[in-house]
Amino acid sequence: LELVEMEVRELLSSYDFPGDDTPIITGSAKLALEGDTSEIGGPSIDRLMEALDSYIPEPERAIDGAFLMPIEDVFSISGRGTVVTGRVERGIVKVGEEVAIVG
């Protein structure tokens, strides 16, 4: 595992990522799902979540402006009607709130 970690760090560094400072967590999601409590089971998932929480900054959300969600795709689902998908760029919307589709 140490050799693999060294190779991964070298690869990250070759693409201008901070290979030496990037946390690498070893573990098995399969073992964790099976309830294994060894070092590579459940505890490794906890370490992964802690690393993600501390290493990846929380993005700033623009919630002050009007709700804006560019539509990426449209589906017709029987029994539900037309469903649109997209990523919210700003604002907030609540369940049951009416929205206007413009465009």
Tell me the CATH number at 82.
2.40.30.10
Specify whether 8 is located in the same domain as 48: yes
Specify whether 30 is located in the same domain as 46: yes
Task: Work out how many domains the chain is built from and give that number.
Answer: 2
Specify whether 15 is located in the same domain as 50: yes
Q: Is the pLDDT of residue 103 over 80?
A: no
Give the pLDDT confidence score for residue 25 in this predicted structure.
93
- What amino acid is encoded at 49 in this protein? M
Radius of gyration of the chain (CA): 21
Residue-wise pLDDT tens digits, 44-100 = 999 999 999 998 888 888 888 889 999 999 999 999 899 989 999 999 999 999 888
Specify whether 81 is located in the same domain as 50: no
Give the dihedral of Cα atoms 25, 30, 33, 38; nearest 10 deg: -60
Specify whether 40 is located in the same domain as 66: no
| Token representation of residue 59 | 């993005």
Specify whether 21 is located in the same domain as 50: yes
Residue 35 lies in domain? 2-55
Output the pTM of the full model. 0.56
